[in-house]
Structure 1
Amino acid sequence: MAQTLSRRSSSRWDELFISYRFRDSLKESLRLEGEALFRIISEPNLLSRLLQGCIANQSLRQAHQLHAFIITSGAASDRFTCNHLLNMYAKLRQLPTASALFKIMPRKNIMSSNILLGGFIQNGDLEAARELFDGMPERNVATWNAMVTGMAQYGFNTEGLEYFGGMRRQGFRPDEFGLASALRSCAGLRDIASGQQVHAHAIVCGYETDPCVGSSLAHMYMKCGHVQEGEGVLKVMPVVNVVSCNTIIAGRSQNGDAEGAVDYFSFMRRAGLKPDQVTYVSIISSCSDLGTLAQGQQVHAQAIWSGVDSVLPIRSSLISMYSKCGNLGDSARVFCESDDADRSDLVLWSAMVAAYGFHGRGQEAIKLFEKMIRDGMEPSEVTFLSLLYACCHSGLKDKGMEYFELMSGKYAMQPTLKHYTCVVDLLGRSGCLDEAEALIKSMPVSADGVIWKTLLSACKTHKNAEMAERVAEHVLRLDPEDSASYVLLSNIRATKEKWDDVSELRRCMRERRVRKEPGISWVELKGGQVHQFSTGNSSHPKQKEINRFLDELMGKMRETGYVPDTSTVYHDMEDEEKEFSLAHHSEKLAIAFALLTMPPGAPIRVMKNLRVCDDCHVAIKLISRIADREIVVRDVSRFHHFRGGECSCGDYW
Structure 2
Amino acid sequence: MATAVRRIGGEKSWFCHLHRFFSTSTENAASSISDIEGKFKSLCSAGRIKEAFKTYNAEIWTDQHLFSYLIQSFIPQKSLLIAKQLHSLAITSGYYFKDKFVRNHLLNMYFKMGEIQEAIAFFNAMPMRNIMSHNILINGHVQHGDLDSAIKVFDEMLERNVATWNAMVSGLIQFEFNENGLFLFREMHELGFLPDEFTLGSVLRGCAGLRASYAGKQVHAYVLKYGYEFNLVVGSSLAHMYMKSGSLGEGEKVIKAMPIRNVVAWNTLIAGNAQNGHFEGVLDLYNMMKMSGLRPDKITLVSVISSSAELATLFQGQQIHAEAIKAGANSAVAVLSSLISMYSKCGCLEDSMKALLDCEHPDSVLWSSMIAAYGFHGRGEEAVHLFEQMEQEGLGGNDVTFLSLLYACSHNGLKEKGMGFFKLMVEKYGLKPRLEHYTCVVDLLGRSGCLDEAEAMIRSMPLEADVVIWKTLLSACRIHRNADMATRTAEEILRLNPQDSATYVLLSNIHASAKRWKDVSKVRTTMRDRNVKKEPGVSWLEVKNRVFQFSMGDKSHPMSEEIDLYLKELMEEMKLRGYVPDTATVFHDTDSEEKENSLVNHSEKLAIAFGLMNIPPGSPIRVMKNLRICSDCHVAIKLISDINNREIIVRDTSRFHHFKHGKCSCGDYW
Q: TM-score, normalised by structure 2?
A: 0.88
Following the alignment from structure 2 to structure 1, what is the Cα–Cα distance between the partners of residues 433 and 317? 34
Q: Is the 8 A contact 1:495 1:570 kept in 2?
A: no
Aligned counterpart in structure 2 of residue 492 of structure 1, from 501, 510, 513: 510
Amino acid across the alignment from 2:227 = G
Q: Is the 8 A contact 2:141 2:149 kept in 1?
A: yes
**Which residue is equivalent to 2:287?**
266
C-alpha displacement of 1:104: 6.2
Aligned counterpart in structure 1 of residue 355 of structure 2, from 308, 322, 334: 334
**Which residue is equivalent to 2:567?**
550
* CA distance 1:644–1:23, shift in 2 (3 Å): closer
Following the alignment from structure 2 to structure 1, what is the Cα–Cα distance between the partners of residues 84 and 163? 28
What is the aligned-residue RMSD (CA, Å)? 2.9
Following the alignment from structure 1 to structure 2, what is the Cα–Cα distance between the partners of residues 242 and 609? 33
C-alpha displacement of 1:216: 0.9
C-alpha displacement of 1:112: 3.4
Counterpart mapping for 1:362-511 below 5 A: 362-510=380-528
Amino acid across the alignment from 1:562 = Y
**Corresponding position: 1:351 with 2:372:** no
**Corresponding position: 1:612 with 2:633:** no
**Which residue is equivalent to 1:625?**
642
* CA distance 1:11–1:177, shift in 2 (3 Å): farther
Q: Is the 8 A contact 1:54 1:60 kept in 2?
A: no
Aligned counterpart in structure 2 of residue 125 of structure 1, from 146, 154, 160: 146
C-alpha displacement of 1:620: 0.8
Secondary structure of residue in 2 paired with 1:173: coil
**Which residue is equivalent to 1:299?**
320
**Which residue is equivalent to 1:603?**
620
Amino acid across the alignment from 1:216 = S
- The alignment covers a number of residue pairs equal to 638
C-alpha displacement of 1:333: 2.2
Give % identity: 58
Q: Is the 8 A contact 2:232 2:262 kept in 1?
A: no
Secondary structure of residue in 1 paired with 2:24: helix
**Which residue is equivalent to 1:361?**
379
Following the alignment from structure 1 to structure 2, what is the Cα–Cα distance between the partners of residues 582 and 264? 38
C-alpha displacement of 1:191: 0.9
Q: Is the 8 A contact 1:79 1:107 kept in 2?
A: no
**Which residue is equivalent to 1:5?**
24
Q: Relative to structure 2, which stretch is displaced further, 582-591 or 153-162? A: 153-162
**Which residue is equivalent to 1:135?**
156
**Corresponding position: 1:566 with 2:586:** no
Following the alignment from structure 2 to structure 1, what is the Cα–Cα distance between the partners of residues 365 and 382? 17
Counterpart mapping for 1:238-253 below 5 A: 238-253=259-274
Secondary structure of residue in 1 paired with 2:429: coil
Q: Is the 8 A contact 1:449 1:478 kept in 2?
A: yes
**Which residue is equivalent to 2:329?**
308
Amino acid across the alignment from 1:341 = H
**Which residue is equivalent to 1:255?**
276
**Which residue is equivalent to 1:45?**
65
Q: Is the 8 A contact 2:505 2:587 kept in 1?
A: no
Following the alignment from structure 1 to structure 2, what is the Cα–Cα distance between the partners of residues 104 and 162? 34
C-alpha displacement of 1:549: 1.3
**Corresponding position: 1:218 with 2:276:** no
Q: Is the 8 A contact 1:499 1:572 kept in 2?
A: no
Q: Is the 8 A contact 1:79 1:108 kept in 2?
A: no
C-alpha displacement of 1:193: 0.8
Aligned counterpart in structure 1 of residue 206 of structure 2, from 181, 185, 190: 185
Secondary structure of residue in 1 paired with 2:554: coil
* CA distance 1:11–1:641, shift in 2 (3 Å): farther
C-alpha displacement of 1:459: 0.8
Following the alignment from structure 1 to structure 2, what is the Cα–Cα distance between the partners of residues 310 and 94? 28
**Corresponding position: 1:577 with 2:594:** yes
Amino acid across the alignment from 1:611 = R
5+ residue gaps in structure 2?
A: 1-19
Q: Relative to structure 2, which stretch is displaced further, 276-285 or 139-148? A: 139-148
Secondary structure of residue in 2 paired with 1:5: coil
* CA distance 1:174–1:236, shift in 2 (3 Å): same
**Which residue is equivalent to 2:13?**
none
Following the alignment from structure 1 to structure 2, what is the Cα–Cα distance between the partners of residues 546 and 3? 89
Q: Relative to structure 2, which stretch is displaced further, 153-162 or 478-487? A: 478-487
* CA distance 1:77–1:297, shift in 2 (3 Å): closer
* CA distance 1:102–1:518, shift in 2 (3 Å): same
Q: Is the 8 A contact 1:424 1:439 kept in 2?
A: yes
Q: Is the 8 A contact 1:391 1:399 kept in 2?
A: yes
Q: Is the 8 A contact 1:494 1:570 kept in 2?
A: no
Q: Is the 8 A contact 1:252 1:258 kept in 2?
A: yes
Q: Is the 8 A contact 2:232 2:261 kept in 1?
A: no
5+ residue gaps in structure 1?
A: none
- Deviations 1:89-131, CA, capped at 9 Å, x for gaps: 4444555555565566565443333333333333333223223
Amino acid across the alignment from 2:158 = P
